[in-house]
Amino acid sequence: MEKIGIFCSACEQISPRYFECTRELGTWMAAEGKTLVYGGADMGLMECICRAVKEGGGQVMGVVPTKLEEKGRVSDRLDVTFHTVNLSDRKDVILRESDILVALPGGVGTLDEVFHVVAAATIGYHSKRVVLYNIDGFWNGLLAVLNQMEAQGFIRRPLDNFLSVANTFDELKDILE
């Protein structure tokens, strides 16, 4: 798994702990020769992971929707830039270019990206996994809802066919190696 797609927050006003864990991941990715595939923004955890990968000598692929370009919010650290019309196209390109996907803490956009990938996997469009990096239990609430949906029969295939959870950085590295 050489190309790792990252879904994460573009917010700046979040706990410094999330930035620390994101930097750690980006530094590891660069050291291991992994390529970052992400949304291309110059804000929040998105810029944090991009910066860490680049500072470690790694490669970065940014998938940039038109609105991000219009707002001047594209990172200047990208090695490869994919231009997309909208967020739907962006998700498709990130999925296509990535071997595996990791969801760091994020908001509605991150949830949209996670569910886009998982839903497509459940009906056979691909066999790629999403790993929820559960920093300090960030994803626990979502996991409870998903487990309830699965227990009630709304998720027909076992969720762990498509979704993994890493509660520590060591667990995340084990999945990604």
User: Please, what is the average pLDDT of the chain?
Assistant: 95
Q: What is the pLDDT of residues 22-77, one digit of tens each?
A: 999 999 999 999 999 999 999 999 999 999 999 999 999 999 999 999 999 999 99
| Tokens read off for 66 | 């038109």
Average pLDDT over residues 105-111: 96
Please report, for the domain that includes residue 125, its CATH number. 3.40.50.450
Q: Which domain holds residue 75?
A: 3-176
| Tokens read off for 13 | 């006003």
Q: What is the pLDDT of residue 156?
A: 77
Q: Give the confidence band of 177 by pLDDT, cuts at 50, 70, 90.
A: confident
Q: What is the pLDDT of residue 164?
A: 96
% of the chain with per-residue pLDDT over 70: 99
Q: What is the pLDDT of residue 133?
A: 98
Average pLDDT over residues 133-150: 96
The total domain count for the chain is 1
Q: Which of 35-44, 84-93, 105-114, 148-157 has the lowest mean pLDDT?
A: 148-157
Residues 6+ apart with CB under 8 A from 59: 35, 36, 53, 79, 80
